[in-house]
Amino acid sequence: MALHVRVEQGSAVGYRGNSRVVGTLRWSTSCAVGWCLVFACLHLYWAVGGSVGLSSSAGQELATTRPVVFVVAGLYGVAVLLVCGGVLAVAVARDCLGARRLLLLQTLAGLLGAGLLLRGVLLEGVLLADLGGVREQVGPLETRWSLAIWNPWFALGGVVFLTHTWVCRRKALIKRVS
């Protein structure tokens, strides 16, 4: 079964004439970059010595001992990856890339979104179901904050990146047809 889209030049759904697609693209790009920026700033705050929220995310032991590997890879490294995610969100929205590169970046952004969503939903389910006694292993503080903030935050990032990828793909298809 094939989907055929026919858009006449200058029609209301054409790329140049559809302000909703362009406006939605701006919003989805802003949301994806914003999600990455907020999370990157939080990781940088923790990396330079901030402690609010760290024990509820990484655990009391890592928050108090702060091994060098954890700070470099787990905090600075994640912040760098999040900045790369923001750059990816902008690149996926650009028109100046070739079709193959754009498709590769869109696929990467979609996989990123799917991974974030799966991480958030699966870990939320594991904690809610208390599989393997995981709540006791991580403790009440981490469990509470993971259920209330961290897992939903990852799921939100996944939804944001999947939506952004879908909007960019839609824009590319409309532009190609018109």
pLDDT band at 18 (very low <50, low <70, confident <90, very high): low
Kindly provide the b/e burial profile for residues 42-78, where b requires at least 16 CB atoms within 10 angstroms of the residue's own CB: bbbbbbeeeeeebbbbbeeebbeebeeebbeebbbeb
Q: What is the reported pLDDT for 94?
A: 86
Position 64 in a domain: yes
| For residues 141-156, average pLDDT | 95
Position 1 in a domain: no
Residue 52's alpha-carbon distances to 18, 37, 43, 121, in angstroms, are 44, 18, 11, 24
Position 3 in a domain: no
Q: What is the reported pLDDT for 11?
A: 34
- For the chain, what's the residue count? 178
Of the listed ranges 9-13, 19-23, 164-168, the least confidently predicted one is 9-13
What average pLDDT is seen over the chain? Answer: 87
Position 69 in a domain: yes
Position 73 in a domain: yes
Alpha carbon 85 to chain centroid, angstroms: 7
Domain of residue 121: give its range: 19-177
Position 43 in a domain: yes
- Exposed / middle / buried, residue 14 (Cβ in 10 Å: 0-12, 13-18, 19+): middle
Looking at the predicted structure, is the pLDDT value of residue 87 above 70?
Answer: yes
Cα 34 from Cα 36, distance rounded (Å): 5
CB 153 within 8 A of CB 120: yes
Position 9 in a domain: no
Position 7 in a domain: no
pLDDT higher at 39 or 16: 39
What domain count does the chain have?
1
pLDDT higher at 15 or 28: 28
